[in-house]
Chains A and B, each alone.
Chain A
């Protein structure tokens, strides 16, 4: 009976509890944010460290993403460039092309006539004067061979190359996709690097937040003791520290996003200039919406887990001696 009476004294009615719980959380979250902003320098330093840590893998991700976009444009390149004997004229070349189109391995054949090749060469720039000196066109007819996808892997491509070289009209055959595949491998390497670096620096963020929260707990030891004295539950005392961790994570994630976006803005000019030297355009793509979402969610989670570790180690709740 006594127990029942004391339970009623605890205060709020059962039906009000969800509202109270939500209200307490909202109040705690906002109070924690205010507290963090009251000390802008230490908060800013922690946030900056988190932001830089997260910006590194994010920037690498953006780099890989942009390289992939760039490589995407090259997927249309022919797999094999077939240089015909210099003597072969356009008519003969056409006949060879038609013949090749009938091969099962080949999806498409595109003919680049000698005139067209010369025009393209001129367009590349820098060679006009050299070309002026020549009496006649030094370029052979080139057949661009696009294999069917099942014949694209290096081994099959090499078989096809050998077969093509046996044709009497063919001078030599160059495989264009090999270096593309190497490039692809490099991209995969970078991507693994993103994961590794992200994992490593994520651990760093965990430790940074954990340590910051640990110091905060030590700083507020007296306050925590008094709260325990007047009947605060362990959950109530932990809550502001967990929210602080989440806020650190969120602010750090936003900083990382800001840093990467700023870097892209700064790099866009030089990249455009470089691209224009290649008579090309290359608009850099930034962090997409989904990538940003992942970074923010990840950073909040890291902050939360970091503070949770610290809170679990240092706030065990009221413990009578």
Chain B
């Protein structure tokens, strides 16, 4: 589902962020991406979502070679990749419903179908009753769950999360991770960047460790 082949990413101002990264994830696989801050976790995720392009190497997502994907096709690629951020990236002046509906609205889906799918997504994260609220009225954990609902509402085959529990206490973090496990059961491929090692170790999933832009350790076999 996701394949990296000798991927390098160099920033002119910071130097090399990723060095010779190669790995492959199968459909329905869930993996953690760990490492110290600045190790390149976010960069790696950004490459998958085509927020950035690699300096060298090839990335294949769902059979698409991102290196040869024309700019016009980028929006369609992003609809296949749900992204969850530490700071949620919600629109503060829109309701929870509107925030979650955004990925569907941009595809031109009919209102009825949008309503149905948004409620299904909110139900999955346990926020069905808060659809009329605005993000500021929600707690940090709830806001993160809205971000997750927005990422899954378009039913993307790939889900990326960048420090999704960075600001949450352990109980809430575990809740969020268990939510991710449920998506894995329905065949979604998940890659979660986190430095919550205690939580990572308590769950049995493949784990990549990045150190200064190099893939140091990969517990999975492929």
Residue of A nearest to B102 (CB): A230
Q: Does B179 contact A (CB under 8 A)?
A: no
Q: Does B83 contact A (CB under 8 A)?
A: yes
A234 to B106, CA, bound (A): 10
The residues of B that contact A229 with a CB separation of less than 8 Å are 49, 51, 78, 83, 89
Which of A1, A6, A222, A227 is the one whose CB lies under 8 Å from B106? A227
Closest Cβ of chain A to B118, distance in Å, is 13
A227 to B51, CA, bound (A): 13
Given A3-B63, A10-B107, A12-B109, 11 other A-B residues pairs in contact with their CB atoms under 8 A: A2-B64, A3-B64, A6-B64, A10-B79, A226-B102, A227-B106, A230-B150, A231-B76, A231-B79, A232-B75, A232-B106
The residues of A that contact B64 with a CB separation of less than 8 Å are 2-3, 6
The residues of A that contact B78 with a CB separation of less than 8 Å are 228-231, 318
A317 to B89, CA, bound (A): 18
Q: Does B52 contact A (CB under 8 A)?
A: yes
Indicate if the CB atoms of A317 and B76 lie closer than 8 Å: no
Indicate if the CB atoms of B108 and A6 lie closer than 8 Å: no
The residues of B that contact A318 with a CB separation of less than 8 Å are 50, 71, 74-75, 78
The residues of A that contact B42 with a CB separation of less than 8 Å are none
Per CB-CB distance, the 8 closest pairs between chain A and chain B, nearest first, are: A2-B63, A231-B79, A232-B106, A231-B78, A230-B103, A20-B108, A233-B75, A318-B74
A234 to B73, CA, bound (A): 10
Interface of B is mostly: loop
Q: Which A residues contact B (CB, under 8 angstroms)? A: 1-3, 5-6, 9-12, 20-21, 23-24, 222-223, 226-234, 236, 317-321
Indicate if the CB atoms of A9 and B107 lie closer than 8 Å: no
The residues of A that contact B80 with a CB separation of less than 8 Å are 6, 9
The residues of A that contact B95 with a CB separation of less than 8 Å are none
Given the known interface contacts A2-B64, A319-B71, the answer about A10 and B76 at a Cβ–Cβ threshold of 8 Å is: yes
The residues of A that contact B136 with a CB separation of less than 8 Å are none
Indicate if the CB atoms of A320 and B62 lie closer than 8 Å: no
Q: Does B35 contact A (CB under 8 A)?
A: no
**Which positions 62-96 of chain B face chain A at CB distance < 8 Å?**
62-64, 71-72, 74-80, 83, 89-91
Indicate if the CB atoms of B51 and A231 lie closer than 8 Å: no
The residues of A that contact B110 with a CB separation of less than 8 Å are 20, 23
Indicate if the CB atoms of A231 and B91 lie closer than 8 Å: no
Given the known interface contacts A226-B89, A231-B79, the answer about A12 and B102 at a Cβ–Cβ threshold of 8 Å is: no
Closest Cβ of chain A to B194, distance in Å, is 20
Q: Does B40 contact A (CB under 8 A)?
A: no
Indicate if the CB atoms of A230 and B79 lie closer than 8 Å: yes
Indicate if the CB atoms of A222 and B91 lie closer than 8 Å: yes
Indicate if the CB atoms of B107 and A231 lie closer than 8 Å: yes
A278 to B107, CA, bound (A): 69
Q: Does B154 contact A (CB under 8 A)?
A: yes
The residues of B that contact A321 with a CB separation of less than 8 Å are 51-53
**Which positions 148-203 of chain B face chain A at CB distance < 8 Å?**
150, 154
The residues of B that contact A236 with a CB separation of less than 8 Å are 106, 108
Indicate if the CB atoms of B53 and A233 lie closer than 8 Å: no
Could you jot down 10 A-B contacts, CB within 8 Å?
A11-B107, A12-B109, A223-B91, A226-B90, A230-B79, A231-B77, A232-B106, A236-B108, A318-B50, A320-B51
A23 to B114, CA, bound (A): 14
